[in-house]
């Protein structure tokens, strides 16, 4: 394929805005499907995972490759709910542009702001599609104002709606100044004159459109100033330049469910979003010459980036990659430069949601899939064997919540472990670890819904059932005052003994400072070769804390005195002595517990604000501010993690399912003494 006719486009927004429905309409319009898939009935081509079908929402990134007017479009359908936005961030590295959906009912929600920020990180050109114009309370102009205010951009409508909600019948093309009236869901429309009552509005927005387009080129602005008009071709030229340089963002509108505006969106993607040949060069590490280089689609050497992995119970591991430069054929040997291993790419496939189509070769800008790579994981680089380069990995957010996972049957322990590790390959937002104290298997993710979805996947994909237990709060210990003291380890039981003697001072540090070590030894009272063992002994002891078993943080320890024995001293003896000294001195330094505080963004209808604020106060939360949104209120609060571990069902109960929230870690602060006693007692019981 000629790279100039390729578009790699991510569809991004908050959950429920209609991304997948819009992609389903596009698949229908391009002839891929015979009818528009429906998420509610489980007939979607894109949301085909059993967990997605049961929950009626997107959990994984999917790709659909289609042809449209002799162009090749790789459409990347991303999740929009807060618990799965790490999937969206990882997918955007494969895109050259993005379509951002906003709801004509609710405008811009918190998740849309977050994915907009992701698109900023990748410097992607964007189009905006205001969806759900056919729904009750739809308001195009209110959503447009919300977009301008929240994103701080110049939204530039290419179309405006004819009516809204039950009166929504079509859209007005501001370039041709014609009305497109739709009669069914086939995407066909009748071209009519603009209704008289909408002519003034259309002329107002057309003037803004032409002015913006003309400002992209000196010749265009000169002609516009002289004649007051531009040809359609000149308008398209100016709009493309302004979109790619991000001077403005074109806005379209319609209804994904009724297939109004989807075909026009396809045409806008081709006209205004950049091809891979026009995107900025990508930074990579040249592993042969040990230097940074820039890679462009025009470079001959093959390079690709794996941005998604699926584990199929029958086909095994499926790796989805975007070709950055050069080309690759089926059965070709390439280098995984991240792992330093060679891989043979077997059969290559192009994807259309749940369907895969064989292809013999893919070129720069294309997105393809290959199965059963031995060494390759998500975020690995594939490249030509004779030109090893590596693209930087996507920086993923840290998990915010953990649950204890336990198989319902002890016979399933191995199946649970195997299934979870396969899901780890699929989902870069998951972490698994074994608690060394309780021996519990802890599954960490981006929220309760995220963990619940993983548990459901275990059951549906690997036929194993597990129980989720109350999440663990990652408390920390620290000290409030200075203290000093001795730790002496002396052991004699025949033959060579053990002797280590250290004097430590502990000093509290500010929050977030970590652990610091200072060597104040003079005169060789502790030989230099034993000092690293002292530091190691304290750091290892700090992991287990002093009063509760939680790690101790934010302190400085200084070794200022000690003694040794010329025969019996050893690194192990000094390590043990340091651990003893640490525990003894820390006990005199007033140990306290710290608890994690979370930043929360809560979005609720107006009538529930009072109830939410009252609930936050009962959870020891602090309300930072309350901001009006297009539909409801945005409450910002800081709340201890321990109080909101299972907040999702509580919020659903309070708001009747109409509230939503996001949260992220903010800082640690001292836990009140009466709660400290309770946590310490519970930990000792466990």
CA distance 238 to 642: 54
| pLDDT value at residue 438 | 65
> Which helix (H) or strand (E) is 603 found in, with range?
strand 591-604
Q: What is the mean pLDDT of residues 117-125?
A: 95
Phi and psi at 677, nearest 5°, equal: -60, -40
> Which helix (H) or strand (E) is 531 found in, with range?
helix 531-543
CATH code for the domain defined by 593-685: 3.30.70.240
Closest-CA residue to 83 (of 647, 654, 657, 653): 647
CA distance 495 to 626: 72
Q: What is the mean pLDDT of residues 495-499?
A: 83
Q: How many CB atoms lie within 10 A of CB 684?
A: 10
| pLDDT value at residue 111 | 85
Q: Mind listing the pLDDT tens digit for each residue in 412-430?
A: 888 898 899 999 999 999 9
Q: How many CB atoms lie within 10 A of CB 94?
A: 25
Task: Give 630's pLDDT tier (boundaries 50, 70, 90).
Answer: low
CA distance 399 to 419: 19
Specify the residue for token string 């000196």. 218
Options 3.90.1260.10, 1.20.1740.10, 2.40.30.10, 3.20.20.140; CATH of 282-390: 2.40.30.10
| Helix, strand, coil distribution of the chain in percent, nearest 5 | 30, 35, 35
> Which helix (H) or strand (E) is 238 found in, with range?
helix 232-244
CA distance 470 to 643: 12
Model confidence at 124: pLDDT above 70: yes
CA distance 203 to 59: 42
- From-to residues of CATH 3.30.70.870 in the chain: 401-472
More confident residue, 631 or 304: 304
Q: What is the mean pLDDT of residues 353-368?
A: 95
CA distance 83 to 110: 12
| pLDDT value at residue 655 | 86
| pLDDT value at residue 157 | 98
Task: Give 337's pLDDT tier (boundaries 50, 70, 90).
Answer: very high
Task: Kindly give the pairing relationship between strand 483-491 and strand 515-519.
Answer: unpaired
| pLDDT value at residue 334 | 97
pTM of the full structure: 0.77
More confident residue, 462 or 307: 307
**Would you state the CATH architecture of domain 401-472?**
2-Layer Sandwich (3.30)
| pLDDT value at residue 494 | 66
Please say whether the structural domain 3-166+249-278 has been given the CATH code 3.40.50.300: yes
CA distance 309 to 287: 25
Query: What are the angstrom distances between the C-alpha of 185 and each of 27, 105, 260?
Result: 13, 21, 7
Query: What are the angstrom distances between the C-alpha of 69 and each of 54, 127, 568?
Result: 36, 19, 83
Q: What percent of the chain has pLDDT over 90?
A: 74
DSSP 3-state of 89: helix
**Residues 91, 76 contacting (CB under 8 angstroms):** yes
- From-to residues of CATH 3.40.50.300 in the chain: 3-166+249-278
Give the N- to C-terminal CA distance of the chain in Å, as an integer. 62
Would you call 9 exposed, middle or buried from its count of C-beta atoms within 10 A (0-12, 13-18, 19+)?
Answer: buried
Task: Give 451's pLDDT tier (boundaries 50, 70, 90).
Answer: very high
CA distance 426 to 450: 13
Model confidence at 629: pLDDT above 80: no
Which range among 138-142, 157-161, 226-230, 296-300 shows the weakest confidence by mean pLDDT?
226-230
Overall CATH class of domain 477-589: alpha beta
- From-to residues of CATH 2.40.30.10 in the chain: 282-390
Task: Kindly give the pairing relationship between strand 249-253 and strand 125-131.
Answer: parallel
- 76 DSSP β-pair partners: 10, 63
**Residues 50, 414 contacting (CB under 8 angstroms):** no
DSSP state of 552: B
Phi and psi at 309, nearest 5°, equal: -130, 135
CA distance 48 to 142: 34
Task: Give 631's pLDDT tier (boundaries 50, 70, 90).
Answer: low
**Residues 158, 209 contacting (CB under 8 angstroms):** yes
Model confidence at 437: pLDDT above 60: no
Q: What is the mean pLDDT of residues 644-670?
A: 83
* Mean pLDDT for the chain overall: 92
């Amino acid at each position: 394929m000629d790279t100039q006719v390729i578009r790699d486009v991510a569809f991004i927004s908050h959950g429920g805005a209609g991304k997948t429905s819009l992609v389903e309409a596009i698949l229908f319009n391009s002839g891929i499907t015979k009818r528009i898939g429906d998420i509610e009935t489980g007939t979607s081509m894109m949301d085909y995972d059993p967990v997605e079908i049961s929950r009626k929402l997107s959990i994984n990134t999917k790709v659909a490759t289609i042809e449209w007017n002799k162009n090749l479009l790789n459409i990347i359908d991303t999740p929009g709910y807060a618990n799965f936005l790490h999937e969206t961030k990882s997918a955007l590295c494969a895109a050259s542009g993005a379509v951002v959906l906003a709801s004509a009912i609710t405008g811009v929600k918190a998740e849309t702001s977050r994915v907009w920020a992701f698109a900023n990180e990748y410097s992607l050109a964007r189009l905006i599609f205001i969806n759900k114009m056919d729904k009750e309370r739809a308001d195009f102009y209110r959503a447009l104002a919300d977009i301008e205010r929240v994103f701080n951009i110049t939204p530039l409508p290419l179309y405006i709606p004819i009516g809204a909600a039950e009166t929504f019948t079509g859209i007005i093309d501001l370039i041709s100044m014609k009305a497109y009236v739709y009669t069914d869901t086939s995407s066909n429309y009748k071209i009519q004159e603009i209704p008289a009552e909408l002519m003034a509005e259309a002329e107002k927005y057309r003037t803004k459109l032409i002015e913006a387009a003309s400002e992209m080129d000196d010749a265009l602005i000169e002609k516009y100033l002289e004649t007051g008009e531009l040809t359609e071709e000149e308008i398209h030229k100016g709009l493309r330049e302004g979109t790619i340089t991000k001077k403005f963002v074109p806005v379209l509108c319609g209804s994904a469910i009724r297939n109004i505006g989807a075909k026009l969106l396809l045409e806008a993607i081709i006209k205004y979003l950049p091809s891979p040949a026009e995107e900025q060069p990508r930074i990579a590490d040249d592993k042969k010459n040990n230097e940074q280089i820039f890679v462009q689609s025009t470079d001959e050497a093959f390079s690709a980036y794996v941005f998604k992995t699926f584990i199929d119970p029958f086909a095994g591991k499926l790796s989805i990659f975007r070709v950055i430069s050069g080309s690759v054929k089926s059965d070709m040997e390439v280098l995984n430069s991240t792992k330093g291993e060679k891989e043979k790419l077997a059969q290559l496939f192009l994807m259309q949601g749940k369907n895969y189509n064989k292809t013999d070769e893919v070129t720069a800008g294309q997105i393809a899939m290959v199965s059963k790579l031995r060494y390759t994981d998500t975020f690995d680089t594939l490249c030509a064997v004779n030109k090893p380069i590596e693209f930087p990995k996507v920086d993923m957010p840290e998990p915010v919540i953990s649950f204890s996972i336990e198989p319902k049957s002890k016979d399933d322990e191995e199946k649970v472990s195997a299934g979870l590790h396969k899901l780890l390959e699929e989902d870069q937002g998951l972490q698994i670890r074994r608690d060394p104290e309780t021996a519990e298997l802890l599954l960490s993710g981006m929220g309760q819904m995220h963990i619940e979805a993983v548990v459901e996947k275990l059951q549906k994909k690997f036929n194993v059932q597990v129980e989720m237990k109350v999440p663990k709060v990652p408390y920390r210990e620290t000290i409030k005052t200075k203290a000093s003291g001795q730790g002496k380890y002396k052991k004699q039981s025949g033959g060579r003994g053990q002797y280590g003697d250290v004097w430590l001072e502990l000093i509290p540090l500010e929050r977030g400072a970590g652990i610091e070590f200072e060597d104040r030894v003079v005169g060789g009272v502790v030989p230099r070769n034993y000092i690293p063992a002292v530091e190691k002994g304290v750091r290892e002891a700090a992991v287990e804390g002093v009063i509760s078993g939680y790690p101790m943080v934010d302190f400085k320890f200084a070794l200022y005195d000690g003694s040794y024995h010329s025969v019996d001293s050893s690194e192990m003896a000094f390590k043990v002595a340091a651990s003893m000294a640490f525990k003894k001195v820390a006990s005199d330094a007033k140990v306290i517990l710290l608890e994690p505080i979370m930043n929360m963004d809560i979005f609720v209808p107006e009538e529930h604000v009072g109830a939410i604020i009252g609930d936050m106060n009962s959870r020891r939360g602090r309300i930072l501010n309350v901001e009006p949104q297009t539909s409801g209120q945005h409450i910002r609060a800081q709340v201890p993690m321990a109080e909101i571990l299972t907040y999702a069902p509580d919020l659903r109960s309070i708001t009747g399912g109409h509230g939503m929230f996001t949260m992220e870690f903010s800082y640690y602060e001292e836990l009140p003494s009466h709660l400290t006693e309770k946590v310490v007692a519970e930990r000792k019981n466990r």
